[in-house]
Amino acid sequence: MTRIAINGSKGKMGQTLIEAVHSNSKAEFGAGLDKGDKLADQLDNFDVLIDFSRPEASLDAISICKGSGKAMVIGTTGFSDNELEFIQQASKEIPIVFAPNMSVGVNLTLKILETSAKVIGPDSSVEIIEAHHRFKVDSPSGTALKMGEVVANALGRNLADCAMPCREGIEEPRDLNTIGFSSIRGGDVIGEHTVAFFMDGERVEITHKASSRMIYANGAVRAANWLFDKPSGLYSMHDVLDL
């Protein structure tokens, strides 16, 4: 039985995660943490910490878990390059599953995108459109960026060099080597992502739509159970799902 703690337990995602832990026969709810709570006081109550908070809170939690040998599942997005490097270094001491999206469906979609990009090849215009609720603060979403990374890698590109997050004014004709991003914010949209491959005479669109936060929570608990007896390292949901 994996004892799981939830960071950010009073938020919407935190409450959904607690529900997912209680409904999983292989997991046990060990502790819930929010503002004002001290993770260091709960170290005896959990084996794996699930963190869907903000970058600054996640980094503090990583430092504490690293010092106490506790595993982590991190679903937080919006990290800087330096912060990503900190996670990478921490994973040399503790096991970490780090993924911008814990949904089984999204991670299957990433695999499909990799195959599609390789088959379609470089002679297409790639656009990624994502929509989320009005309270989401980072854009493009972590999932959209991961989709762009998968497509770019499959095409032999570096996303940092080819990402085009916005367009404005009069521009030159579209560069086929770029990957465009569009972000929509409004209402209570849980999460929708579409990757479109535009070719002469046809278009392929691959879409994932989430209608419940529970898909992310169930995936995170599945990752925590999988991580329980793993050695130090940085793992993805593809590792968890054996993709």
Q: What's the DSSP call for residue 242? A: T
Q: Is 194 annotated as a binding residue?
A: no
Tally DSSP H helices, then E strands, for the chain. Answer: 8, 11
Q: Is 175 annotated as a binding residue?
A: no
Contact partners, residue 212, CB within 8 Å, separation at least 6:
190
Chain-centroid distance of CA 83 in Å reads 15
Q: Is 10 annotated as a binding residue?
A: yes
Q: Is 143 annotated as a binding residue?
A: yes
Q: Is 36 annotated as a binding residue?
A: no
Q: Is 13 annotated as a binding residue?
A: yes
CA distances from 228 to 41, 97, 191 (A): 21, 11, 28
Q: Is 133 annotated as a binding residue?
A: yes
Q: Is 178 annotated as a binding residue?
A: no
Instruction: For the beta carbon of residue 105, count every other beta carbon within 10 angstroms.
Output: 13
Q: Is 163 annotated as a binding residue?
A: no
Examine the residue annotation and report whether 26 is marked as an active-site residue of this protein: no
Rounded Cα distance, 59 and 38, in Å: 14
Instruction: For the beta carbon of residue 234, count every other beta carbon within 10 angstroms.
Output: 17
Buried b (16+ CB within 10 A) or exposed e, 148-161: bbbbbebbebebee
Name the active-site residue from 132, 146, 193, 208. 132
Q: Is 76 annotated as a binding residue?
A: yes
User: Is the CB of residue 69 less than 8 Å from the CB of residue 43?
Assistant: no
Examine the residue annotation and report whether 136 is marked as an active-site residue of this protein: yes
Rounded Cα distance, 77 and 120, in Å: 29
Q: Is 77 annotated as a binding residue?
A: yes
Q: Is 101 annotated as a binding residue?
A: yes
Name the active-site residue from 66, 92, 111, 136. 136
Q: Is 75 annotated as a binding residue?
A: yes
Distance in angstroms between the alpha carbons of the first and the last residue of the chain: 25
Contact partners, residue 67, CB within 8 Å, separation at least 6:
none
Beta bridge partners of 98: 74
Q: Is 38 annotated as a binding residue?
A: no
Annotated binding site: 8-13, 34-35, 75-77, 99-102, 133, 142-143
Annotated binding site for NADP(+): 35
**Residues designated catalytic:** 132, 136
Annotated binding site for NAD(+): 8-13, 34, 75-77, 99-102
